[in-house]
Structure 1
Amino acid sequence: MENEYLIYSKLEGDNYLAYVKKNKKFLLISESILDLLNIYLSKSKSKLKKIITDLYTDLDYDQIVNDLEHLLIEDSSTKEKISIPLIPYLDKKFQFKLGKIDYKILYNSSINLNDLIGQLHHLSNNTISESKSIIIFSKNETCYLFIENILIGNWDINKLNFLKGKLISILISNFHNTFETNWSGFLHASVINKLNKSFVIVGSSGSGKTTICKLLIDRGYSLFSDDIAPLDLNGNFAFFPNALSIKETGFDLVSKKISNYKVFDINTFKGVTRYLYPKKQKIENNFIQCNTIIKVKYLKNSKFTLNKNSIHEVLNEFINDSYIPRNDLSVLSFIKWIKGCKVLDITYSDIDDVYDLFERSY
């Protein structure tokens, strides 16, 4: 449903997903909180006090208002606009080709982009003469992103991951010849497919999400995207050729059939990380539909367990770790997609159990 102030939809039980238009913020709330929020946003203070004191006689009005105001505090990842600094000397360079576009990232040593470069290293091309320039640097505890000498944004240096996410979303949009606002979201997930079967794989750090993708690719699945999954306005996932990232603790698990991959090891903020990209994977701007979300957790020597999970659980992860364009069309599209999804929760130690699950018809 939608009104002047909110876009909201009921999930399971008493849970609602709400989007506050003014603050551009997602909330997972109960029906009673949703009712209060609607009253708070739509009424004058005098009317608000009367309604709340009449309807909620056992609650403190000032406390309710304080709680609602706290709930509506705006997220702030991008810094306020400031004067554009002079671009310093940039001593690092990475060149690559994605689709029909050649890129050159210029950056200075104070910025650690090793994880970003690892994801794209299989696309590297040092023979490029003319290319689209991407400039990244830090100054006074602030990091900056320029593309073709146009400032895209600036972030606190400790929020460099937001800059990297912004750049990846731009690269994805360029690859598919569209704009960032034309997506439902860039989800923190991996997507694999085989014939008519597609799965969105999610999991917290250390859950074995990427390891599962690699081992399933070894058994005939294709990598559609890893770590970031672009979802379009029609509820379809777009292909994006970023590499699988494996932490050093998982090297032994993925050592088989390693010759089938382009391999690049680099030291990132997570330690030594191995980036793998299937040599036979075609790079083309395809789309697939997928409504099965599998939340995975690796637990050594555990029995395989499978449970149906709630959308509410994965929504927390998507909202906190993903980028969803803050416009009404994208929000409505994302809500429509997530409500049509089935969520499975698995714990595993043996990849054969996972493979058997994926081979069944869901």
Structure 2
Amino acid sequence: MNVKLTPKLISQLKNNYIVWFETSNQYIVISDTLKDLIEVYLISHSQADFITQLHIDFNISSAQAELYYNEITNVLITSNTIVNPKSQQSPIPLTPKKALNLYYGFGDTTMSINFGSQSIKNLIHPQFAHATIEKPNAVSCHFDIYKYGDSLYLLKNGAYIEHYSISDFHLLQGRFAVELINLLYDKQEADWIGTFHASTVCNAKEAIMIIGDSGNGKSTLSALLMASGMDVIADDFTPLSAINQEVYRFPSGISVKEGAFVILEEIFSEFDQFPIHPSTSKHVNLKYIPPVNDFENSILHLPCKKVVYVKYDAAVSSTLKKVDTDQILATLIPESWLSPLATNAQLFLDWLQNLECFELQYADNNFAISQFKKLFEAL
């Protein structure tokens, strides 16, 4: 068989396994049985050899073995296919005049962003509006973000970073977020295990990551937890370092949807004064709640060994239960960026081994808050 189809890394998660394919940077969870079948597949010399071995080792019929052969072939080929090849560098078009140039401060780090238009400004600015400052004496970094033709361009200190189709503006937002954490912590892309589509809360000792499907209230819950004395270290974008396997602060505001306004305006005295922004991805209005502390007065990174999958449902009884790690991977991985480096992939698998995972279904906000307090107390 083709040894090039062999997974680069494999790690056991209780009764299942998670495997990583270097070519595609793809992770898949497989059962113990499927792992055994793949191992037979990879050492077999032909389809006939595979079918014979399955009959000898597992007493599987030829017809069923042929089905397994075809399914495994499809899985391995798909998992070794590059899904999103990196775009080619484009000639840098002229940058627009600095009509929409704003400055932001995060402790000792300052940056300026030249937005090509008001609509492009709306893609980035609202979540960092709380960090807007007057023009400083010196700027740590300058970004240009503008439209040319059918593409959005990102430049850093005049150097081309990447460009994206206008319809893929979320990729621009994600890349800018990575450039920002690199700037804040003097790191490079290779220094991160990944960045997760997750909100993360913390106390002075540890962080807890909150994941969930879109619309399940991650950010609203984060705001409620912040109002209850916890700190939100990241909202919707949580970076995990390869240096120390800790999560790092991402200094954005907490984005909350219009459906939560009534609840939150009773808790945050200045909520009515926060501007309303239309969502860039959905037909809904948003507000951004600023962080409680300034960046320079905040804890910047902490270990994270707990992940909670949350689901708000007014019709269910509120429960918190422990679950196996593989049960949260279908939510944790797909919308995240994970490093394509083998060393970082191994660190990610090692990090998963030490996780405690929970599922929180709740209809009562006070119940959810009390459960997080208990999780922080259980050190």
- Structure 2 counterpart of 1:338, from 352, 366, 376: 352
Change (3 A) 1:303 1:115: farther
Structure 1 position 251, deviation (Å): 0.7
Structure 1 position 151, deviation (Å): 1.6
Check conservation: 2:207, 2:247, Cα contact below 8 A. Answer: no
Q: 1:221 maps to what in 2?
A: 230
- In the aligned structure 1, how far is the partner of 2:209 from the partner of 2:120? 29
Residues 1:204 and 2:213 aligned together: yes
- In the aligned structure 1, how far is the partner of 2:46 from the partner of 2:115? 52
Structure 1 position 244, deviation (Å): 0.3
Change (3 A) 1:80 1:281: closer
Quote the sequence identity (%).
22
Q: Which residue identity lines up with residue 278 of structure 2 in the other structure? A: N
Change (3 A) 1:38 1:183: farther
Change (3 A) 1:123 1:39: farther
Change (3 A) 1:102 1:139: same
Change (3 A) 1:54 1:4: closer
Residues 1:177 and 2:186 aligned together: yes
Unpaired runs of at least 5, structure 1:
none
1:206-254 superposed Cα distances (whole Å, 9 cap, x missing partner): 1111111111111211121111111112221112211100111111111
Check conservation: 2:217, 2:310, Cα contact below 8 A. Answer: yes
Q: Which residue identity lines up with residue 12 of structure 1 in the other structure? A: K
Normalised by the length of structure 1, the TM-score is: 0.87
Q: How big is the alpha-carbon RMSD for the aligned residues of Structure 1 and Structure 2? A: 2.8
Change (3 A) 1:164 1:278: closer
Structure 1 position 326, deviation (Å): 1.0
Normalised by the length of structure 2, the TM-score is: 0.83
- In the aligned structure 2, how far is the partner of 1:285 from the partner of 1:221? 12
Q: Secondary structure at the match of 2:347?
A: helix
Q: 1:266 maps to what in 2?
A: 277
Q: 1:104 maps to what in 2?
A: 112
- In the aligned structure 2, how far is the partner of 1:101 from the partner of 1:66? 49
Q: 1:27 maps to what in 2?
A: 28
Q: 1:254 maps to what in 2?
A: 264
Q: Secondary structure at the match of 2:104?
A: strand
In proportion to residue count, which structure has more helix? 2
Q: Secondary structure at the match of 2:52?
A: helix
Q: 1:128 maps to what in 2?
A: 136
Check conservation: 2:38, 2:72, Cα contact below 8 A. Answer: no
Check conservation: 1:264, 1:276, Cα contact below 8 A. Answer: no
Q: 2:59 maps to what in 1?
A: none
1:300-352 superposed Cα distances (whole Å, 9 cap, x missing partner): 25321122222123212222111111112211111111221111111112221
Residues 1:278 and 2:278 aligned together: no
- In the aligned structure 1, how far is the partner of 2:49 from the partner of 2:121? 53
1:233-288 superposed Cα distances (whole Å, 9 cap, x missing partner): 22211122111001111111111342367834322223321001134455346221
Check conservation: 1:307, 1:346, Cα contact below 8 A. Answer: yes
Q: 1:7 maps to what in 2?
A: 9
- In the aligned structure 2, how far is the partner of 1:20 from the partner of 1:357? 37
Check conservation: 2:23, 2:81, Cα contact below 8 A. Answer: no
- In the aligned structure 2, how far is the partner of 1:101 from the partner of 1:52? 59
Change (3 A) 1:79 1:286: closer
Check conservation: 2:277, 2:285, Cα contact below 8 A. Answer: yes
Change (3 A) 1:64 1:313: closer
Structure 1 position 71, deviation (Å): 3.3
- In the aligned structure 2, how far is the partner of 1:59 from the partner of 1:4? 20
- In the aligned structure 2, how far is the partner of 1:214 from the partner of 1:245? 9
- Structure 2 counterpart of 1:52, from 50, 65, 75: 50
Q: 1:18 maps to what in 2?
A: 19
Check conservation: 2:254, 2:291, Cα contact below 8 A. Answer: no
Q: Which residue identity lines up with residue 305 of structure 1 in the other structure? A: T
- In the aligned structure 2, how far is the partner of 1:346 from the partner of 1:62? 39
Unpaired runs of at least 5, structure 2:
55-61
Structure 1 position 27, deviation (Å): 2.2
Structure 1 position 156, deviation (Å): 2.9
Change (3 A) 1:63 1:344: closer
- Structure 2 counterpart of 1:80, from 84, 87, 110: 87
- In the aligned structure 1, how far is the partner of 2:36 from the partner of 2:124? 43
Check conservation: 1:92, 1:107, Cα contact below 8 A. Answer: yes
Moved more, 314-323 or 150-159: 150-159
Q: Secondary structure at the match of 1:300?
A: coil
Q: 1:322 maps to what in 2?
A: 336
Check conservation: 1:308, 1:345, Cα contact below 8 A. Answer: yes
Moved more, 261-270 or 237-246: 261-270
Check conservation: 1:92, 1:108, Cα contact below 8 A. Answer: yes
- Structure 2 counterpart of 1:353, from 344, 367, 370: 367
Q: 2:58 maps to what in 1?
A: none
- Structure 2 counterpart of 1:151, from 148, 160, 179: 160
- In the aligned structure 2, how far is the partner of 1:154 from the partner of 1:18? 31
Number of aligned residues: 355
